């Protein structure tokens, strides 16, 4: 089977049949991506190795002359683009806002936001516009100390930065607008600090933690974008997956204590994106028996790893009671494991748990064939999710 990337799976599918077919062929395959060749790590074992082995470098993938760059994640100042001590320094500073203790403190506010949003819904409603889109944005604004009045501007910038048909000039313009706004916000936080993460990062910078102003602005931009856009789309996809499986929805309704396992099974089963960010090998590496030369790009195909039949029995079955030793890789693995994983899980638990409890008759308000997805979006995301109850 000749492999090409990106894959062309229709948006409405929860899985990636092309990725699964490639995995059935081999755990690692060479694919063409435009004019370049790229290794696709497909098996659970191969993906975990790429994500945790320091010989697969994120930093090398963002440097001038890198063999393959994906523009959304190519900024060399981002914590997700760094390796080693530079990565550890930035990550330690940023991770304080996403600790279990901080998320526990934030949970009542998340519940309050969810309750308020659901109170506003009419008996026939769009869950994307009414819940999935505003909730993560309001939470990240709360976390960072950004006024809600700026939420619409942030949402607009985010969508512009995460579409695949944006030109380099349009990308630079959107980033320039957002960074100018962030620079003003940083100046404001220096003058009037609060308890938000931006003030904490500004204080650490001013106290000599060696966070340069460009690093500060780039990573604040990354937090604002990645901190909500992924959850917006994962939440919508997950609610649709539950509606597609009424037996599992009924089980969750009768056993609300299953919300934790249900969220993890949704993260494993319901496709948000195909792969994690590209890595470049710093020396020759053997990956699941395949010899990969130095300086070659490798993509960890998360969607294939999360349905590896060697790890997950009957991987195409959606089962909120699924048990097993292997954690899904939706949040990645290793040094670049998602900073906001605890917060994203908590938002999903609160939002999905509240929807299931409040609306026992929840069902789609249109035929599933009428659902549409955001075109040209890096993530798989619904335009709308019309429901009734």
Domains of the chain, CATH where assigned: 17-388 (1.10.630.10)
In this prediction, residue 74 carries a pLDDT of: 61
DSSP state letters, 238-290: HHHHHHH-HHHHHHHHH-GGGHHHHHHHHHHHS-S-S----EEESS-EEETTE
Burial annotation 122-155 (CB, 10 A radius, 16+ → b, else e): eeebbbbebbbbbbbbbbbbebbbbeeeebeebb
> Starting from the edge strand earliest in sequence, which strands make up the sheet with 363-364, in order?
124-126, 386-388, 363-364
- Strand-pair partners of 299: 40
pLDDT tens column, 264-320: 999 999 999 999 999 999 999 999 999 999 999 999 999 999 999 999 999 999 999
In this prediction, residue 210 carries a pLDDT of: 61
In this prediction, residue 309 carries a pLDDT of: 97
pLDDT tens column, 164-210: 677 878 878 888 888 899 999 989 988 998 888 788 777 766 565 56
Length in residues, the chain? 389
pTM: 0.93
Q: Which positions of the chain have pLDDT values less than 50?
A: none
Among all chains, which residue has been given the structure tokens 């290794």?
39
In this prediction, residue 205 carries a pLDDT of: 62
In this prediction, residue 158 carries a pLDDT of: 81
In this prediction, residue 209 carries a pLDDT of: 59
């Amino acid at each position: 089977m000749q492999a090409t990337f990106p894959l062309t799976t229709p948006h409405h599918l929860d899985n990636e049949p092309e990725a699964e077919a490639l995995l059935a062929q081999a755990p690692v395959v060479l694919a063409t991506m435009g004019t370049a060749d790229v290794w696709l790590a497909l098996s659970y074992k191969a993906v975990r190795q790429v994500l945790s082995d320091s010989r697969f470098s994120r930093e090398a993938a963002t440097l001038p002359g890198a063999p393959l760059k994906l523009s959304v994640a190519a900024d060399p100042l981002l914590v997700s683009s760094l390796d080693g001590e530079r990565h550890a320094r930035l990550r330690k500073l940023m991770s304080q806002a996403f600790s279990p203790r901080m998320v526990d403190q934030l949970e009542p506010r998340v519940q309050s936001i969810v309750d308020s949003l659901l109170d506003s819904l009419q008996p026939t409603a769009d869950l994307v516009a009414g819940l999935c889109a505003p909730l993560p944005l309001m939470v990240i604004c709360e976390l960072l100390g950004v006024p809600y009045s700026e939420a619409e501007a942030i949402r607009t910038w985010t969508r512009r930065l995460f579409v695949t048909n944006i030109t380099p000039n349009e990308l630079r313009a959107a980033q320039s607008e957002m960074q100018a706004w962030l620079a003003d916000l940083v100046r404001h936080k220096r003058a009037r600090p609060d308890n938000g993460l931006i003030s904490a990062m500004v204080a650490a910078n001013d106290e000599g933690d060696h966070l340069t102003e460009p690093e500060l602005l780039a990573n604040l931009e990354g937090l604002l974008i990645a901190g909500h856009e992924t959850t917006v789309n994962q939440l919508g996809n997950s609610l649709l997956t539950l509606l597609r499986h009424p037996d599992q929805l009924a089980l969750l309704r009768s056993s609300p204590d299953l919300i934790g396992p249900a969220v993890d099974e949704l993260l494993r089963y319901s496709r948000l994106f195909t792969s994690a960010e590209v890595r470049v090998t710093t020396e020759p590496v053997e990956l699941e028996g395949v010899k990969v030369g130095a300086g070659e790009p490798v993509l960890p195909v998360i969607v294939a790893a999360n349905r590896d039949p060697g790890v997950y029995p009957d991987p195409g079955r959606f089962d909120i009671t699924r048990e097993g030793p292997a954690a899904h890789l939706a949040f990645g693995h290793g040094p670049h494991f998602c900073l906001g994983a605890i917060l994203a899980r908590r938002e999903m638990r609160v939002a999905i748990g509240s929807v299931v409890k409040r609306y026992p008759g929840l069902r789609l308000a249109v035929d599933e064939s009428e659902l549409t997805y955001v075109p040209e979006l890096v993530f798989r995301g619904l335009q709308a999710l019309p429901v009734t109850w």
